[in-house]
């Protein structure tokens, strides 16, 4: 705290300083600023529509050298620095901009100014520039034209003949540019070879653009380069060996390209590196066998390549090491941390490799470790006791290994504990206060009653006990920890009894999965208070209740699965507006629902009728890998899972009412659900005609109306649904001709059987007869592929995507990899390039 006397003292110094300043000003020439410089600045300002300049500072009658954003040379009043970063210029730099009359400019910062258009080549006329920062704008076009101009200002020695004709010799020897940052723009084309002539360059930042081609080997001539940042572009090929000559290099960021090459050779002489960021490329070599020479290394990030070889233990002799990420490679063998001096290490990620053997006790050397991710390997044995010494550790992720035994009690002080897909069978009871927020014990061999100590966890946001052998009832005390819960998954156990009324305060709950247990009784009415609820899965229990139509008032409910229970009565409550405005997926199949659906039944289901981009439900897929998402389709392409992201497709909308006793007409309001991808009404007692308006559901990919009492003809218009790849009309009372249209011709014969009056099936059924064995085989193998797919999808979703969904929350970036990366390295302090993708 600053005391009163300090204050006075400060004030005194300030007063003296101030009077000195006045004195100096008084004795100096009134206007230091040169008039042409001042006018150029003012004209430059007028090229933009800017509110942000303080007019009293950029005021013609005051000294321009005192203007905000401007610095002058002390002696001559020449403007040498213009720094307008974060000023909203919202326009392009004109080729004749007055900026280029500031010919003494050394330092130009127009970062984050919403600049558009091309980098004007006249930038090259500013021959004194040493620092140019145009990062984080929307600049387009190729770099080369402007850069060639820039660099001809810089350095032209006699050896450099082929350009001398183009370049006035007067410009020779100007080798002042040391810093060039064009990162995070929209620049296209190749990196110009001529950058290699900017001999004094210390930092080159071109990351986050759309640059293509190979890295020019001329960059290897930039012998003073300290930082080379080319990440997040579309660069290909091998990193030229000349880069290995840049032996002053501190930062090498080549991530998110398609680069390859031999890392041991590349890094051989680059021992001053502190940041090696090569993640998301195609490197397929080993790592250098001895990395103990990298004394300054802080970040070693090589995830998502095809690197192989043993665990690089020599890496850990660097005393400054902070982040190590080897995830998603092919490293094998045991890990060990003998002779480690990396006491600063905060993050160690070894996920998705082939490491095996025990987790060594020596892990405890990393006293500052915050996050340890060993998921998806073949680690065996039990958790080493020494982990208890890692007092900074908050996130321990060990899923998908072969770890077994008892989970020791010290782990409950971490905030994230992911132990799923192992062979753990018990836990040491803990009486101490715990901070745990994410607890995932799913897919292990835990057994016995619900662990009561979980009721003491007051900060819990995720609780996943799914796929174990728990039994007994769900205790009412769970109400205590549910206040902060966003996800609760108890699926695939043997829980019995009723679902207790514990949800009255669960206002943060987004996802509830109690599927595949033996729960009975009523549907939990207290869910009505869970206004954040997005996902409810009760599949395969014995819940016996009426349809909980009151769920329709939950504003964010996206997914409702009541499949295979004992629900009864009508799906429609005469007295009720249905709501369900956010519903994307509903599956109430295989219950005992009956009654009719009123004509306006679907009229409020807004998210199925209007296109909304929708958010991924990343954290939901692992709970829900039902047939709905993996519905049979002839082409095996259109499914409810986005195969790139392994999540429920953003645009997926599905209704499954099959296997009930619903009767009457198919309601007309169905025609509003223009975003519907899958409709399954099979195994009910729907009657009358198939409505023609189904042809208006143009995004439909799968349609199953089989085993009903539908009569009349199949509407010819359905033949025009070009995405409809799976359909089934079998076992109805249909008649008349089969619609034309390729999608119909591609169906199996069985999709139409059991309709005595239907004709025009000859082509389909004959072909299927003659090639019966093969087509049967094909079908079987494709079905087993799909089974596989569904489990693989679920398993992968369990990896990065999940944590992403949880950590990043509602921020959705365009590129999965970025989302994942930012989630994971949130602790990293330097700039992460977002954009492009």
Q: Is 55 a residue that touches ligand NAG (CB under 6 A)?
A: yes
Q: Which one of residues 64, 79, 129, 133 is an interface residue with ligand NAG (CB under 6 A)?
A: 133
Rounded CA separation 380/590 (Å)? 42
Tokens of 754: 């059991």
For ligand NAG (CB under 6 A), the number of binding residues is 48
Q: Which one of residues 31, 62, 484, 711 is an interface residue with ligand NAG (CB under 6 A)?
A: 62
What residue is closest to ligand NAG based on CB? Answer: 504
Give whichever of 3 and 170 is closer to ligand NAG, judged by the CB atom.
Answer: 170
Site for ligand NAG in 344-363 (CB under 6 A): 354
Order of strands, sheet of 757-759, starting from the edge strand that comes earlier in the sequence: 663-664, 685-689, 709-713, 733-737, 757-759
54-62, 448-456, 547-555, 618-626 -> range binding ligand NAG (CB under 6 A): 54-62
Q: Is 196 a residue that touches ligand NAG (CB under 6 A)?
A: yes
Q: Which one of residues 5, 24, 27, 61 is an interface residue with ligand NAG (CB under 6 A)?
A: 61
Give whichever of 8 and 18 is closer to ligand NAG, judged by the CB atom.
Answer: 18
Give whichever of 122 and 735 is closer to ligand NAG, judged by the CB atom.
Answer: 122
15-23, 89-97, 492-500, 755-763 -> range binding ligand NAG (CB under 6 A): 89-97
Interface mask (CB under 6 A) for ligand NAG, residues 137-156, using x and -?
A: --------------------
What DSSP assignment string belongs to 204-272? Answer: EE--SSEEESPPPGGGGG-TT--EEE--SS--EEEPPGGGGG-TT--EEE--SSEEE--HHHHHTT-TT
Q: Is 268 a residue that touches ligand NAG (CB under 6 A)?
A: yes
Sign for the CA dihedral angle at 204, 207, 211, 213 comes to positive
Least spacing, CB of residue 403 vs ligand NAG, in Å: 13
Give whichever of 295 and 389 is closer to ligand NAG, judged by the CB atom.
Answer: 295
Helix extents (H) in 771-824 = 772-797, 800-808, 816-824
Give whichever of 394 and 529 is closer to ligand NAG, judged by the CB atom.
Answer: 529
Helix extents (H) in 650-713 = none
Q: Is 176 a residue that touches ligand NAG (CB under 6 A)?
A: no
Q: Which one of residues 284, 285, 526, 735 is an interface residue with ligand NAG (CB under 6 A)?
A: 526
Q: Is 98 a residue that touches ligand NAG (CB under 6 A)?
A: yes
Least spacing, CB of residue 569 vs ligand NAG, in Å: 14
**Pair 630, 726: CB distance under 8 Å:** no
Rounded CA separation 632/254 (Å)? 42
Tell the residue number behind the tokens 């020494």, with chain if given. 386
Give whichever of 455 and 795 is closer to ligand NAG, judged by the CB atom.
Answer: 795
Tokens of 79: 């403007």
Nearest to 815 by CA among 234, 242, 357: 234
Rounded CA separation 104/33 (Å)? 13
Site for ligand NAG in 565-594 (CB under 6 A): 575
Integer CA distances (angstroms), 219 to 8, 127, 179, 191, in order: 56, 21, 14, 10
Q: Is 204 a residue that touches ligand NAG (CB under 6 A)?
A: no
**Pair 259, 235: CB distance under 8 Å:** yes
Q: Is 496 a residue that touches ligand NAG (CB under 6 A)?
A: no
Rounded CA separation 273/290 (Å)? 15
9-17, 204-212, 370-378, 492-500 -> range binding ligand NAG (CB under 6 A): 370-378
Q: Is 265 a residue that touches ligand NAG (CB under 6 A)?
A: yes
Tokens of 773: 């064995």
Give whichever of 53 and 556 is closer to ligand NAG, judged by the CB atom.
Answer: 53
Name the pairing type of β-strands 210-212 and 236-238.
Answer: unpaired
Q: Is 518 a residue that touches ligand NAG (CB under 6 A)?
A: no
- Tell me which DSSP letter residue 301 carries: E
Give whichever of 404 and 650 is closer to ligand NAG, judged by the CB atom.
Answer: 404
Tokens of 109: 């910062």
Rounded CA separation 331/1 (Å)? 53
372-380, 412-420, 645-653, 744-752 -> range binding ligand NAG (CB under 6 A): 372-380
Least spacing, CB of residue 565 vs ligand NAG, in Å: 21
Task: For helices 800-808 and 772-797, give the axis angle rounded to 10 degrees.
Answer: 50
What DSSP assignment string belongs to 361-376? Answer: GGGGG-TT--EEE--S
Residues forming beta bridges with residue 358, ordered by sequence position: 380
Give whichever of 117 and 408 is closer to ligand NAG, judged by the CB atom.
Answer: 117
Q: Is 429 a residue that touches ligand NAG (CB under 6 A)?
A: no
Residues forming beta bridges with residue 583, ordered by sequence position: none
Give whichever of 232 and 590 is closer to ligand NAG, judged by the CB atom.
Answer: 232
Tokens of 198: 């900017």
Q: Is 522 a residue that touches ligand NAG (CB under 6 A)?
A: no
Q: Is 696 a residue that touches ligand NAG (CB under 6 A)?
A: yes
Q: Is 85 a residue that touches ligand NAG (CB under 6 A)?
A: yes
Least spacing, CB of residue 278 vs ligand NAG, in Å: 17
Nearest to 744 by CA among 764, 759, 758: 764
Q: Is 86 a residue that touches ligand NAG (CB under 6 A)?
A: yes
Rounded CA separation 347/295 (Å)? 18
Least spacing, CB of residue 202 vs ligand NAG, in Å: 11
Name the pairing type of β-strands 91-92 and 115-118.
Answer: parallel
Q: Is 5 a residue that touches ligand NAG (CB under 6 A)?
A: no
Tell the residue number behind the tokens 């007692």, with chain if given. 685
Q: Is 541 a residue that touches ligand NAG (CB under 6 A)?
A: no
Least spacing, CB of residue 136 vs ligand NAG, in Å: 7
Q: Is 112 a residue that touches ligand NAG (CB under 6 A)?
A: yes
Q: Is 59 a residue that touches ligand NAG (CB under 6 A)?
A: yes
Torsion, CA 452, CA 454, CA 457, CA 459, rounded to 10: -150
Query: Which helix (DSSP H) or strand (DSSP E) does residue 517 occupy?
Result: none
Q: Is 667 a residue that touches ligand NAG (CB under 6 A)?
A: no
Name the pairing type of β-strands 308-309 and 685-689.
Answer: unpaired
Give whichever of 253 and 755 is closer to ligand NAG, judged by the CB atom.
Answer: 253
What DSSP assignment string belongs to 497-509? Answer: EEPPS--TT-TT-
Least spacing, CB of residue 97 vs ligand NAG, in Å: 6
Q: Is 612 a residue that touches ligand NAG (CB under 6 A)?
A: no
Q: Which one of residues 111, 130, 256, 420 is an interface residue with ligand NAG (CB under 6 A)?
A: 111
Give whichever of 439 and 721 is closer to ligand NAG, judged by the CB atom.
Answer: 721
**Pair 63, 35: CB distance under 8 Å:** no
Give whichever of 228 and 761 is closer to ligand NAG, judged by the CB atom.
Answer: 228
Rounded CA separation 279/257 (Å)? 9
Per DSSP, the chain holds a count of helices (H) and strands (E) of 9, 53
Q: Which one of residues 58, 179, 366, 825 is an interface residue with ligand NAG (CB under 6 A)?
A: 179
Rounded CA separation 146/136 (Å)? 18
Q: Is 380 a residue that touches ligand NAG (CB under 6 A)?
A: no
Give whichever of 43 and 783 is closer to ligand NAG, judged by the CB atom.
Answer: 43
Site for ligand NAG in 32-51 (CB under 6 A): 43
Phi, psi angle pair for 4, to nearest 5°: -60, -45
**Pair 192, 215: CB distance under 8 Å:** no
264-272, 439-447, 736-744, 787-795 -> range binding ligand NAG (CB under 6 A): 264-272
Site for ligand NAG, rule CB under 6 A: 43, 55-56, 59, 61-62, 85-86, 90, 94, 96-98, 100, 109, 111-112, 122, 125, 131, 133, 169-170, 172-173, 179, 196-197, 218, 221, 244-245, 265, 268-269, 354, 376-378, 504, 525-526, 528-529, 575, 671, 693, 696
């Amino acid at each position: 705290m600053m005391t009163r006397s300090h204050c006075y003292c400060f004030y005194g110094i300030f007063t003296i300083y101030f009077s000195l300043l006045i004195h100096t000003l008084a004795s100096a020439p009134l206007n230091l600023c040169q008039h042409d410089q001042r006018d150029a600045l003012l004209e430059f300002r007028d090229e933009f529509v800017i509110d942000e300049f303080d007019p009293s500072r950029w005021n013609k009658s005051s000294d321009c050298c005192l203007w905000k954003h401007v610095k002058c040379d002390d002696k001559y009043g020449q403007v040498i620095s213009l720094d307008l970063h974060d000023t909203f210029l919202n326009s392009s730099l004109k080729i004749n901009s007055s900026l280029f009359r500031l010919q003494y400019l050394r330092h130009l910062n127009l970062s984050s100014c919403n600049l558009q258009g091309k980098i004007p080549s006249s930038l090259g006329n500013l021959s004194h520039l040493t620092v140019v920062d145009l990062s984080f704008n929307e600049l387009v076009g190729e770099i080369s034209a402007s850069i060639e101009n820039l660099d001809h200002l810089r350095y032209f020695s006699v050896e450099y003949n082929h350009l001398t004709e183009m370049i006035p010799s007067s410009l020779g020897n100007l080798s002042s540019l040391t810093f060039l940052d064009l990162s995070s723009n929209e620049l296209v084309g190749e990196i110009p070879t001529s950058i290699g002539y900017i001999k004094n360059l210390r930092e080159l930042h071109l990351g986050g653009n759309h640059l293509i081609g190979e890295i020019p080997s001329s960059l290897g001539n930039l012998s003073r380069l300290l930082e080379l940042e080319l990440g997040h572009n579309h660069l290909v090929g091998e990193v030229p060996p000349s880069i290995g000559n840049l032996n002053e290099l501190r930062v090498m960021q080549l991530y998110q390209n398609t680069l390859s090459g031999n890392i041991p050779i590349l890094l051989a002489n680059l021992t001053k590196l502190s940041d090696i960021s090569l993640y998301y490329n195609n490197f397929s070599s080993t790592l250098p066998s001895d990395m103990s020479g990298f004394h300054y290394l802080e970040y070693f990030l090589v995830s998502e390549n095809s690197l192989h070889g043993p665990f690089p233990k020599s890496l850990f002799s660097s005393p400054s090491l902070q982040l190590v990420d080897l995830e998603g490679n092919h490293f094998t063998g045991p890990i060990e941390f003998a002779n480690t001096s990396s006491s600063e290490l905060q993050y160690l990620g070894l996920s998705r490799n082939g490491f095996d053997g025990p987790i060594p006790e020596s892990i405890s050397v990393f006293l500052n470790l915050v996050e340890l991710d060993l998921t998806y390997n073949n680690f065996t044995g039990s958790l080493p006791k020494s982990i208890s010494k890692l007092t900074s550790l908050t996130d321990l992720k060990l899923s998908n290994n072969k770890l077994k035994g008892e989970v020791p009690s010290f782990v409950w002080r971490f905030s994230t504990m992911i132990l799923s897909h192992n062979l753990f069978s018990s836990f040491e009871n803990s009486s101490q206060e715990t901070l745990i927020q994410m607890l995932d014990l799913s897919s292990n061999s835990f057994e016995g009653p619900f662990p009561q100590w979980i009721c003491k966890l007051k900060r819990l946001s995720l609780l996943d006990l799914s796929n174990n052998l728990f039994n007994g009832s769900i205790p009412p005390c769970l109400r205590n920890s549910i206040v902060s819960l966003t996800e609760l998954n108890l699926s695939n156990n043997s829980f019995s009894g009723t679902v207790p009324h514990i949800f009255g305060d669960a206002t943060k709950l987004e996802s509830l999965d109690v599927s595949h247990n033996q729960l009975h009784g009523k549907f939990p009415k207290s869910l009505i208070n869970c206004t954040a609820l997005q996902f409810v899965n009760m599949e395969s229990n014995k819940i016996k209740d009426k349809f909980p139509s009151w769920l329709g008032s939950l504003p964010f409910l996206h997914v409702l699965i009541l499949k295979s229970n004992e629900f009864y009565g009508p799906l429609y409550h005469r007295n009720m507006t249905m709501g369900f405005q956010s519903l994307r997926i509903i599956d109430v199949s295989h219950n005992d629902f009956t009654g009719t659906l009123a004509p306006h039944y679907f009229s409020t289901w807004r998210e199925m009728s209007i296109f909304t981009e929708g958010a991924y439900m990343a954290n939901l897929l692992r709970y829900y890998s039902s047939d709905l998402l993996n519905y049979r389709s002839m082409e095996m392409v259109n499914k409810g899972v986005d195969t790139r992201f392994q999540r429920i497709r953003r645009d997926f909308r599905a209704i499954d009412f099959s296997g009930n006793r619903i009767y009457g007409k198919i309601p007309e309001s169905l025609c509003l659900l223009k975003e519907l991808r899958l409709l399954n009404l099979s195994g009910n007692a729907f009657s009358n005609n198939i409505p023609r308006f189904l042809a208006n559901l143009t995004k439909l990919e799968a349609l199953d109306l089989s085993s009903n009492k539908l009569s009349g003809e199949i509407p010819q218009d359905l033949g025009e649904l070009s995405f409809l790849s799976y359909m089934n009309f079998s076992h109805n009372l249909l008649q008349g001709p089969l619609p034309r249209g390729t999608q119909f011709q591609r169906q199996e014969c069985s999709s139409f059987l059991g309709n005595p009056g239907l004709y025009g099936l000859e082509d389909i059924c004959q072909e299927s007869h003659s090639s019966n064995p093969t087509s049967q085989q094909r079908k079987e193998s494709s079905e087993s592929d799909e089974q596989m797919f569904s489990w693989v999808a679920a398993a992968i979703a369990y990896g990065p995507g999940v944590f992403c969904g949880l950590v990043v929350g509602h921020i959705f970036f365009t590129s999965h990899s970025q989302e994942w990366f930012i989630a994971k390295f949130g602790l990293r302090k330097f700039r992460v390039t977002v954009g492009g993708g």
